[in-house]
A = this chain, B = another copy of it.
Amino acid sequence: MDTLRVNGPRLCQSLAAMARFGATLKGGVRRLTLTGVDGAARDQFVAWARAAGLEVRVDGIGNIFCRRAGTDPDALPVGIGSHLDSQPSGGKYDGAYGVMAGLEVVRSLNDAGITTRAPLEIISWTNEEGSRFTPVMMGSGVAAGVFTLEHCLAQRDADGATVGEALRAIGYAGDAPAPRLGAYFEAHIEQGPILEAERKTIGVVQGALGQRWFDVVVTGQDAHAGPTPMASRQDALIGASRLVLEVNRIARSHPDEARGTVGALQVVPNSRNVVPGEVRLSVDLRSATDATLRAMVAALTACARVIETECRVAIAMQEVVYFPPSAFDRDLVGAVRAAAQALGFSHRDLVSGAGHDAVYVARVAPTAMIFIPCEGGISHNELESATPEDLEAGCNVLLQAALARAGVAQTQEALT
């Protein structure tokens, strides 16, 4: 089995064919979850899965499970998957790579006439991105028992359509149960710059950073920019700008995988000649440990109190999201590392800074992830790019790690 390899060109062809669903002029993908174009992409995936001999079922939230039977009727399946939905201006690889890599693993096993002991389950999770419906990672979250099905089916998009309606409209309101998994592997582009910068082919993902998100409102007082002397002002944007810089400073003061980002900021009234009376902004803090997250929040809160006094503004911070730091399964992470090693790929351990379906699946099944480099670390962007060599390498690691977990029962050669 050690010499078995996936068909890299076929994998790239699958990715290219999938990228035509929702293709954008700039070479990216706009495939919002449960839209018509997502339905068409799902139909293509299902057709390919059936052609590869897989048994396809759909659960209540529209997750697609494609089973390749094993020889051991009692063995729990080894899941391989990711998601097919994209950001509004997304790329060809975020999500689709993990699903197409799972399909390529199956096709390669078919080509080689290999049957595994445990079944394989190639999975496409519904609505990982959360761009049309919240919460993000909806399908894996329902499967992992994080969200109830009823809650998610009732969520509405900006036009008022519910998830349930959207699922029915594209024919993916299923009723199959989500299978219990014995293991779960997800291959994904890194969405960051580390592998490329360090010229490593494989990221062996240890787990995911914890996240604490805040909505912050800085309140000052509107004033006419002309007649209001500097000393009289209560400029909310001055307070907000100081807070933005503090978020950055605090994250940098915890260099070990700590992140701090203000990604969204709105000024009120946002008029050229009015001193801003209010600024609303988001704060996204991430770290591998809850202790660091707590320290970052405490530091930010203390800074906010100083800014309130010095800038004569009020700062209200409300926590809106908390994802605890998550650690993947030691054995499965070891299988990924061993596969990369055996295949001769340069590799390094990484912690995922982003959320992935794997983070929820890890709550109910042993889980690991495989990262490959993406150009410039760019993702959630139409320019997202990965090399054929890296795509193939990650898929070979996936194949070997999954085989190590599922076990090889028999090969065609052995039978003939």
CB distance A260 to B194 under 8 Å?
A: no
**Max chain B Cβ within 10 angstroms of own Cβ: one of A231, A273, A274:** A273
Pick from B227, B232, B284, B286: contact of A354, CB under 8 Å: B227
Query: A262 to chain B: closest CB distance in Å?
Result: 6
Chain B hits for A213, CB < 8 A? 272
A404 within 8 A of B: no
A276 at the interface (CB under 8 A from B): yes
> Of the 9-residue stretches A12-20, A77-85, A233-241, which lies at the interface with chain B?
A233-241
Query: Chain B contacts of A230 at CB under 8 A?
Result: 248, 251-252, 255, 258-260
Check B272 against A229 for contact (C-beta < 8 Å): no
Q: How far is the CB of A31 from chain B (nearest CB, A)?
A: 17
Question: Could you say which of B237, B264, B276 contacts A271, with CB atoms under 8 Å apart?
Answer: B264
Task: Tell me whether A28 is interfacial, beta carbon within 8 Å.
Answer: no
Q: Decide yes or no: A378 and B223 within 8 Å by CB, A229-B193, A229-B259, A271-B263 being known contacts.
A: yes
Tell me whether B238 and A245 are in contact (CB under 8 A). Answer: yes
Report Cα–Cα, A262/B267, bound state, in Å.
10
**Is the pair A193, B228 in contact by a Cβ cutoff of 8 Å?**
yes
Does A352 count as interface, using CB distance less than 8 angstroms? yes
The chain B residue with its CB closest to the CB of A267 is: B265
Bound together, the chains give a CA A223 to CA B383 distance in angstroms of 11
Would you call A353 an interface residue if the criterion is a C-beta within 8 Å of the partner chain's C-beta atoms? Answer: yes
Expressed in whole angstroms, the Cα–Cα distance for A282 and B267 within the complex equals 12
Report which of B227, B241, B242, B377 forms a contact with A379, defined as CB distance below 8 A.
B227
Q: Are A192 and B224 in contact (CB under 8 A)?
A: yes
Q: Which residues of B contact A73 (CB under 8 A)?
A: none
Chain B: minimal CB distance from A402 (Å): 24
Tell whether, in the assembled complex, residue A354 and residue B237 are in contact, meaning their CB atoms are under 8 Å apart: no
A353: nearest chain-B partner, CB-CB: B226
| In-complex Cβ contact of A238 among B194, B225, B248 (8 A) | B248
In the complex the two chains form, is B262's CB within 8 Å of A237's CB?
A: yes
> Can you list 6 A-B contacts (CB < 8 A)?
A226-B355, A230-B258, A237-B263, A263-B270, A264-B270, A272-B284
Residues of A within 8 A of B (CB): 89, 190-194, 197, 209, 211, 213, 221-232, 235, 237-238, 240-242, 244-245, 248, 251-252, 255, 257-267, 269-276, 282, 284, 286, 352-355, 376-381
